[in-house]
Amino acid sequence: MNALAIAGGTVVTPRRIGKADVLVQGEKVARIGKVGRGIRRASARGLLVLPGAVDAHVHLDLPVAGTRSADGWRSGTLAAAAGGVTTVIDFTVGSAEVPLPDQIEQRTAEVREAVVDFALRAEMVGWTADRTPELAQAAERGVRSFKFFLAYASSGRRTPLGMLRQAMNAIRDLGGTAMVHAEAEELLDPGGGPFPLARPAIAEEVAIAEVGVLARETRCPTYIAHISSAQGMRALRAAQRSGSPLVGETCPHYLLLDERVYRRPDGHRFSVTPPLRSAADRAALWDALARRWLQAVGTDHCPFRNDQKDPFQNVPSRIPSGLPGVELLLPLLYSAGVARGRIGLPDLVRYLSEGPARAFGLWPRKGALRVGADADLVLLDPKATWTVDAGRLHMATDFSPYEGLRVQGRVVGVLSRGTWLVRDGEILARPGRGRFVPWTQGRG
């Protein structure tokens, strides 16, 4: 078997930081420690060697608001590779008419050009109790996570709490995870505007509190997507302290940006749901990361080009909502988190690799740097600095919410199952090599 030593770097896991070589044999990590002579070597001197990031929340080629998110599987996963994300979790296209197994087959068939490995989550739309057998059928196809919306009644995506409770009981029995978009519909402005006042933080707090009670009672592991506010964090903490098995995610845009951007002439381009909040909310989310009150950072990657958002500048209810994220997840969390002293290096890999991989049944095959895991590795130059320029990124959008931001830390090497996707800063990734990763039984 082809052997390769990533030699002389600083290896980072959630529990350990230290100088070590990593021996890659075929698609797996075979050894961490000293690797002797006679083995092909790639120097990682001066670099951090991290487990590949798992972005548990991406929307590639998503049909929404009469358009599609700008990144397809090719550009979206190429961008992921460029940024050190070696696994993405995307969604089926939920429907009241199409059963989950058919949704999974359709979505898998569409993924012909993935560069990195991917898993799928079923998007629950038009869910009714008589569809319960579909959950086990999805599980047989390697999909055990299911996303519910407490908002978006007008587009038929909202699941009432009674139905959610019933589904959570079934998901617990399957050993899966419910994911919830937690905004209480009754507290949102049905007219959609003015953005972002239409979606207040109290809607998030109330919804997380409600879901926390359901998760405690059903004992169903439940992942709260994109927590954006101090109020949302308060509800998450209260639920977790009461024994509710909630897993909390926030996103880079809630950590790096705040509502001031909406006052800019191009403020509408920052439309995202939930919306960006206050500087105090931002600080509360960093504090939560520092205290390990959250378990994952994902991007909710859902990019649009300016020509998709600009026509609706003055029609907040019709602006496609979402921001690009997958390519900058790791660099931004390193730069604004680790380099600024807000979180430690082990927490970086906890939030980007182990946390999301464990929450969605991929760990330790994914999200772990240990013997026997897939050789998904990132080499990061911690000293390199660079400036965000949307035109030089690989995502298929001409907009970056971070345009002009100075970033410390650069991804210079990426391996996926032992194959170089990025080497010495050059992208070598080949579309079509990414594979579906099924949920593995158990959480490790």
Cβ nearer to Zn ion, comparing 180 with 373: 180
CB of 8 to Zn ion, least distance (A): 39
CB of 59 to Zn ion, least distance (A): 6
Q: Which of residues 118-147 bind Zn ion (CB under 5 A)?
A: none
CB of 323 to Zn ion, least distance (A): 11
Closest CA to 15 of 349, 363, 249, 365: 349
Question: Rounded to 5 degrees, what angle do the CA atoms 298, 302, 303 make?
Answer: 125
Query: C-beta of 148: minimal distance to Zn ion in Å?
Result: 12
Q: Which C-beta is closer to Zn ion: that of 12 or that of 58?
A: 58
Which residue in the shown chain puts its C-beta closest to Zn ion? 300
Window 152 to 191, contacts with Zn ion (CB under 5 A): none
- The residue among 24 and 89 lying less far from Zn ion, judged by its C-beta, is 89
Grouping H, G, I as helix, E, B as strand and the rest as coil, residue 359 is helix
**Scanning the structure block, which residue is given the tokens 């509408």?**
268
Nearer to Zn ion, 182 or 380 (CB): 182
Nearer to Zn ion, 300 or 327 (CB): 300
Q: Which is nearer to Zn ion, 320 or 418 (CB)?
A: 320
Pick between residue 225 and residue 411 the one whose CB is nearest to Zn ion: 225
- For 104, the 3-state DSSP assignment is helix
The minimum distance between CB 40 and Zn ion, in angstroms, equals 41
Closer to Zn ion by CB, 179 or 369: give it: 179
Query: What is the nearest approach in angstroms of Zn ion to the Cβ of residue 24?
Result: 33
CB 204 → Zn ion: shortest distance, Å? Answer: 14
Tell me the closest approach of the beta carbon of residue 179 to Zn ion, in angstroms.
9
Q: Based on CB atoms, which residue is closest to Zn ion, 91 or 415?
A: 91
Between 21 and 300, CB nearer to Zn ion: 300
Question: Which is it for strands 419-423 and 426-427: parallel, antiparallel or unpaired?
Answer: antiparallel
DSSP run (H or E) holding 85? strand 85-91
Query: Least distance (Å) from Zn ion to the CB of residue 367?
Result: 20
Q: How far is the CB of 329 from Zn ion (least distance, A)?
A: 14
Residue 50 beta carbon to Zn ion: minimum distance, rounded to whole angstroms = 25
Total binding residues for Zn ion by CB under 5 A? Answer: 1
Nearest distance from residue 354's CB to Zn ion, in Å? Answer: 21
Instruction: Kindly tell me the number of DSSP H helices and DSSP E strands found in the chain.
Output: 12, 19
Q: Binding to Zn ion by residue 90, rule CB under 5 A?
A: no
Question: What is the token pair recorded at 98?
Answer: 């199409």
Residues 6+ apart with CB under 8 A from 255: 282, 285, 286, 289, 297, 332, 333, 336, 337
Across the strands, what pairs with 378? 50, 414
Q: Which is nearer to Zn ion, 94 or 418 (CB)?
A: 94
Closer to Zn ion by Cβ: residue 325 or 364: 325
Q: For residues 279-338, which are near Zn ion according to CB under 5 A?
A: 300
Give me the residues that bind Zn ion (CB under 5 A), please.
Answer: 300
